[in-house]
Structure 1
Amino acid sequence: MVKQNSNNSNNCEIIKLETLNTIVIKPSKPTPPHLKTFKLSLLDQLSPNIHGNTTFFYPNHSSDSSFSRKSKLLHNSLSQTLSLFYPLAGRVQDATTINCTDDGVFFIESQTTSNLSDILTNPNFNTLECFLPTTQEKQNMLLVIRFTLFSCGSTAITVSLTHKIVDFNTLITFLTTWTVVCGGTQPVSLPDLTTAATLFPAREIPGMSASIKTSTKIFTSRRFIFEASKIEELKRKIKSKIECQNELQFHPSRVEVVLALIWKCALSASSRSKTTSFKQRSILFQAVNLRPRMDPTIPETAVGNLVWPFAVTVEEESHVALHEMVKRMRKGIMEFIEKKAEKFKEEGGFKVVMESLKERVEILKGNNKNENEEGSLVIYKCSSWCKFPLLEFDFEWGKPVWSCSVNNLVSNTIALMDTKDGGGVEAFVTLDEDEMGFFEQDQELLQYALLNPTIII
């Protein structure tokens, strides 16, 4: 039985998960000597060496091969894939380089006495955390794979990848390549391993350490589904308000309206959880993929952290209307694209990064105020994975029925992804535990969202 310590709960639900084997997978071809030192980009340099985790759940079909055959297929195809993504089989050498030593990655085979339906009937993040590699299993690895067999014959693949050189787009590129190699019938697109460091050369930044500040409070995650019909209803409501004003006219996106509603209800929950009354100010950081927003555009296959956040601020004492929050998001992304995105190049990139970091430090200073002072700053971070093909990765035994990412590091985060039908939005929201009690019962939220419905296999 594997138990992982969780910031989310002191009573982590445990499933019986037995490790069968831990195998070191190395690249099928040795990395050439001239590629042994991999240069990180400036944006990689600023990224912490922590792991992001995504788990894919595959239902069992009667025609499926055995677990051992599937595992062997994954071994061989992963080895070939690592010869293309050779830095992942290396080790971090210092702040700006990876030593591509071909030391390999861990591939962990495990099994559980649970059925897949036990997991998907009422997905629980404490239980889902048990599928993640432990700290010991990750060690100094940049990539760890866990392949789990359920008692019903279904399987799960957990991909644990370092943020040091991987953003979500890079994860998709890696998985796309791996599944293509696994199939063996389609041409493989080579990853672009040089553009990031060429556009954003690493620099010495005195006093800078790439780390992440974890919460000292107990926090918890919840899953919400916004069906397509409810999103359209929310869009109409917000658009009618926008049209009444003689300012910026636009059609709000599903991500904008869903995120605005979550942000508004999270702020309400934050206010209600406090014992004292004070002015509340909030900032929402949204991650932006720089690849399509550069001129010329960066290839989607470019490996590295090619994202940057822009900030949207709410400063009013009273709750801001939904349509106003959506307008601020749209203005924020437009200003970012028009004024900053194009400047992220070579020496100009360093200047923009340093200016942005300085702005962020000034913003975060407000977060140190205590609740008895004049104001309080509440910060949220959002990543949208909508339009990424998360449920399309077929390793030759069918597509996954569901995928999820478990956040066990920081609170006040929002992750959005497509529902299986492609029209809705699935939201993973992480808040401090005392705030989540108010948030998950918010009637305005529940008018449009379903709280953790069963996933149909």
Structure 2
Amino acid sequence: MKVAIISRNTIKPSKPTPLHLRTYNLSLLDQLAASQHVDLIFFYPSNSNLEYKNVASQVLEKSHHLQSSLSKTLVNFYPFAGQVKDRSTIECNDHGAYFVEAQINCELRDFLSKPDPDKLCQFVPSNDPETIRLASGFLLHVQLTAFTCGGIAVTVSPSHKLTDISSLCTFIRGWTGIALGDEESVIPEFYGASFLPQGDLQNHDMITSVHRNNTKRFVFSATMIASLKDNIKRAIGHGHGQHWASSTDVVTAVLLRSFMAATKSILGSSHPFQFHQVVNLRPRMNPPLPKNSIGNLVWLSTTFFEGNETELHELTAKTRKDLEVFYHEKANKFKGHQGSAFICDLINYNRDGKLYNKNITNMLCTSLSQFPLYDFDFGGGKPIWVTCPMYNGNTIVLTSTKSGDGIEAWITLEEKVMDLVERDENLLAIASLNPSAFPNH
């Protein structure tokens, strides 16, 4: 099950970027973002309408269509075709996006029957050393990987300096709209430094990446989530549970309980840790920012745990309470010159050791479940599976299942901790460990 690179191409905007748009000033949050790329992988089956053609011609047609529509998309999303000029500026010089064509020697059904986290990285452009060298300086990487059956995987991988997950979804929504013939389906809003002025970033860093750890996939069914919600509502008390038990709250509570139990088993005692949830600031601003606003418009809501919390309702209530405080007291402060000062104060708090103490374990959770990932159609139908692999620990990534009512969780932990988590009977009674991602399989 190996991926072989077939070709590498540069895709430039179909129209030149006007001179007055050639310089894009990053916001302070863009400056703080890591320079790594964010990977979102879509798996599409062979198009039944093209069965009369051989597999090679199907894939060639799909690739040509993707490249042509991408070229048109880059006209509106012009910073994606630019280059980083310095720590605060994108030069929108129509440098282009880097497009990789590849093939894998297996069928889509076989791969999705039991998705292997270690094999997923083969669908990511940054996995290939030669591509890394040649694609250096490109803010957007795309890889089309063809299966022997004619199915494809499309990986969209922009630089985190320019996008968060919401921005990435806006870009793909614009791209798929153009691919389906609607060239004005999405007009992005670029705010950058005009919304959140830049700042002095010496020695200022967000949570830094950790070396790659062990990653596992757990799937929570809609039925089980509903049952857990009812139990949590009853435990929290009438009148509060309805607001304190979203599907994301429930799933993260289950995973946190398992993680805490594993850590306690290894250390022999409870261990304090902090749980950080990525918050999309757009809907939390007053007034809310447009959904199609581009940039890093996220921050972290942090919950501290002593390590001895064992009840799901306790974990749920605590994280939800801190989220609500963030929504109502902090989210609207991330704008203007006052917002820049507010962020620098938060970072200084971190740098002084008050937030990320070395004796406290940190876990990061990002949820994509609110984004319509399964609606993205490039012209050959909707995806049958979507995933967003992140291999830095300790990390939880949540996405919706294709049905839209279940949740898929990727969790990355140190190997010795993961060994206990994946054998946790309480977790396995609630979630399925890496079931098939192929429909009706």
Shift of 1:86: 0.8
Give 1:20's aligned residue: 6
The answer to whether the 8 Å contact 1:340/1:352 transfers is no
Unaligned runs of 5+ in 2: 51-56, 127-131
What corresponds to 1:454 in structure 2?
436
Matches within 5 A, 1:74-89: 74-89=66-81
Equivalent residue letter for 1:379 = N
**Alpha-carbon distance between aligned partners in 2 of 1:43 and 1:128, rounded to the nearest angstrom:** 29
Residues paired across the two proteins, number? 428
- Cα pair 1:192 1:301 within 8 Å, conserved: yes
Query: Hey, what does 1:107 align to over in structure 2?
Result: 99
The answer to whether residue 315 in structure 2 is matched with residue 325 in structure 1 is yes
1:327 deviation in Å?
A: 0.9
The corresponding residue for 2:17 is: 31
Structure-1-length-normalised TM-score: 0.89
Quick one: which of 214, 218, 223 aligns to 1:224?
218
Could you say what secondary structure the match of 1:391 adopts?
Answer: helix
Distance across 2 between alignment mates of 1:210 and 1:75: 35
Deviation larger for 58-67 or 165-174: 58-67
Give the aligned residue type for 2:147: F
Which residue in the other structure is 2:53 paired with?
Answer: none
Rate the CA distance shift 1:86–1:402 in 2: closer, same or farther, 3 A: same
Question: Separation in 2 of the partners of 1:446 and 1:363?
Answer: 36
C-alpha contact (below 8 Å) 1:49/1:210 kept by paired residues: no
Residues 330-369 of structure 1: CA deviation (Å, up to 9, x unaligned): 2111111221112222012112212221333345676423
**Whole-angstrom distance in 2 between the partners of 1:211 and 1:139:** 24
2: CA distance between counterparts of 1:205 and 1:387? 32
Structure 2 distance, partners of 1:445, 1:352, is 39
Q: Decide whether the 8 Å contact of 1:285 with 1:310 is kept in 2.
A: yes
Amino acid at match of 2:396: I
What's the CA shift string for 1:145-181, capped at 9, x where partnerless?
0011110111110111111010000011000000000
The superposition leaves residues 214-255 of structure 1 with CA deviations (integer Å, 9 ceiling, x where unpaired) of: 23xx611111110011001111111111017x9887341111
1:166 alignment partner, SS class: coil
1:72 maps to 2:69: no
1:246-284 CA-to-partner distances (Å, cap 9, x unmatched) read 98873411110111111111111122233xx34410110
Equivalence for 1:396: 379
Q: Which of 415, 432, 436 lines up with 2:414 in the alignment?
A: 432
Q: In the alignment, which of 231, 251, 254 is matched to residue 261 of structure 1?
A: 254
Equivalences for residues 10-409 of structure 1 within 5 A = 15-64=1-50, 66-134=58-126, 135-185=132-182, 187-194=184-191, 196-208=192-204, 212-215=208-211, 219-243=213-237, 250-274=243-267, 277-316=268-307, 318-362=308-352, 367-369=357-359, 377-408=360-391
User: 1:416 and 1:228 mapped to 2: Cα distance?
Assistant: 14
Give the distance between the partners of 1:362 and 1:400, measured in 2 at CA.
45
1:294 and 1:341 in contact (8 A); partners too? yes
SS in 2 for 1:299: coil
Question: Percent identity at matched positions?
Answer: 37
Structure 1 gap segments, 5+ residues each:
1-14, 370-376
* CA–CA separation in structure 1 for the residues paired with 2:248 and 2:241: 18
String of CA shifts for 1:420-446, please: whole Å, max 9, x gaps: 111111101111111111001111111
Shift of 1:103: 1.0
Paired letter, 1:193: F
Letter in 2 for 1:201: P
Q: Distance in 2 between matches of 1:314 and 1:349?
A: 28
Alignment check: 8 A CA contact 2:162 2:294 kept: yes
Aligned alpha-carbon RMSD (Å): 1.9
CA contact (8 A) 1:385 1:415 kept: yes
CA distance in structure 2 between the partners assigned to 1:330 and 1:368 by the alignment: 25
> How far did residue 187 of structure 1 move?
3.6
Compute the displacement of 1:132 (Å). Answer: 0.8
What is the TM-score of this pair, normalised by structure 2?
0.93
